[in-house]
Amino acid sequence: MRYLNYLKLPVASTSYVVVFLLLILFFALFLFTVAAVRKFMEKRRYKSSFFREALSKGLTEREAEILWEYSVKEGRDPFLTLEFKVAFEKVVDYYLRTATDADEEVVKSMREKLGFDAIPFFVPLVSTKDIELFQPARIELPDGYFAEVTLFDKDERYMYWAFTDPFPKNRIKEGDEVTIIFIRKADAIYKFTVPIKEVYEERDRIIIKVPHTFSLQRYQRRNFARVEVDILCKVGILTDKSWKWYEGRLKDISGGGARVCLPYGDEKPPISILTEIKLEFFLEGKHFSLNANVVNEDLREKVLCFGVQFVDIKETEQQAILRFVKKEQKKLAELFVRNR
């Protein structure tokens, strides 16, 4: 038994245990404090970096503070509001909806300074705030009736659409939900539904006041993106089993078709919808000779412009055009960013 007593482990006193636990607690508290201070300093440096960037773009300290505060509240990276329109619009919309002292003029000022007040044609709309004034559209009323309207005015919270044709005011009222559809040139068809906040008359026109929305439905009109160009081309038209050639200009092009304008003298070229033509042109030094069908026409004084759809285009030729379009779009985007 005495021998077994030597095998017993030593027992620490209560005071030693307490001291040991306090040391562990102190060490854990020290690590937590260091981590908290480090996080605070990183956030402070990040905020300072954001303010330097915002001020370098022409924003005031108040404007920078608004973007920082409401980006953080919405859980967004504040730096994104300085570079991307979508992030900016989401944050300022949250600011306008929640701030008791929200200032629309400050939002307009920030948008202009950051270059978000205009959108190039190749960039889709972010919200209804991006719709240009005097944009024509069709409005669908709750009873299924359609009418023509135009965007008469807008501010940071509402749009004001004016009916362009005589329209009975008693047919619509505050609270009705209406659907507005419009075509944005060189882009797509857009559609959105909003409630009417007010109906009033101004200069014999009925105007409805509706709120802005981010819920835009976009319908691509074409299968391929296109870019504007100004390239010499030749158009061949089959007449009496022989080809008659005209010189013109390519005005835009895509992987699926193009727009051509032909100047003419006293005699209009024999071209109309569904006319089969040959289209020849050079693109980045490569010669193209493509079959196409005319799908629309626009006759002006001494100039015939028409859209064509390529027929049986080779995969290699289509890919070459698509690469050209992509390259031109990239150039436009870079130019837009530089000029912002």
Tell me what pLDDT residue 22 has.
Answer: 75
% of the chain surpassing 90 pLDDT: 58
Q: How many independent structural domains does the chain possess?
A: 3
The pTM (predicted TM-score) of the whole model is: 0.66
Residues 273 and 291 in one domain: yes
Euclidean distance between CA atoms 176 and 198, whole angstroms: 10
Indicate whether 132 and 184 sit together in one domain: yes
Q: Which residue from 329, 326, 307, 330 is spatially nearest to 318, judged by alpha carbons?
A: 326
Asked whether residue 5 is assigned to any structural domain, the reply reads no
| Domain of residue 302, residue span | 226-337
- Residues 250, 176 share a domain: no
Residue 1 pLDDT greater than 60, yes or no: no
Same domain? For 231 and 333 the reply is: yes
> Is residue 263 one of the residues assigned to a domain?
yes
Give residue-wise pLDDT tens across range 311-339: 999 999 999 999 999 898 888 777 665 66
81-105: b (≥16 Cβ within 10 Å) or e: bbeebebbbbbbbbbbeeeeebeee
Residues 241-291: pLDDT tens digits?
788 999 999 999 999 999 999 998 878 888 888 899 999 999 999 999 999
Same domain, 231 and 332: yes
For residues 287 and 329, state if they share a domain: yes
Indicate if the pLDDT at residue 189 is higher than 70.
yes
Both 242 and 324 in one domain: the answer is yes
User: Do 230 and 215 share a structural domain?
Assistant: no
Q: Which residue, 77, 96, 117, sits at the end of a domain?
A: 117
13 located within any domain: no
Q: Is residue 9 included in any domain, yes or no?
A: no
Q: What letter does residue 128 receive in the DSSP assignment?
A: G
Residue 2 inside a domain? The answer is: no
pLDDT at 230 over 60: yes
* Segments in the chain forming alpha helices (H): 2-5, 14-56, 61-74, 78-83, 85-98, 104-113, 315-338
Residues 138 and 113 in one domain: no
Is there a domain that residue 83 lies in? yes
Domain boundary among 51, 83, 117: 117
- Residue 75 tokens, joined: 């859980």
Q: What is the pLDDT of residues 140-178, one digit of tens each?
A: 998 888 999 999 999 999 999 999 988 777 889 999 999
Average pLDDT of the chain? 87
- Encoded tokens for 177: 């939900």
Higher per-residue confidence, 16 vs 228:
228
Q: Which of 196, 219, 242 is the endpoint of a domain?
A: 219
313 inside domain: yes
Q: Which of 208, 197, 142 is nearest to 174 (CA)?
A: 197
Tell me: do 147 and 209 sit in the same domain.
yes
Find tokens 């102190």 and name the residue. Answer: 26
Residue 178: half-sphere exposure toward Cβ, Cα within 13 Å: 29
- Reading the block at residue 32, the tokens are 């937590």
Same domain flag for 185 and 239: no
Q: Dihedrals φ, ψ of 300, to 5°?
A: -120, 180
Distance CA 271, CA 248 (A): 13
Q: Which two tokens stand for residue 117?
A: 């007040």
Q: How far apart are CA 226 and CA 234, in angstroms?
A: 20
* Residue 256 belongs to domain with CATH number: 2.40.10.220
pLDDT number for residue 56:
93
Same domain, 167 and 188: yes
**86 in a domain, yes or no?**
yes
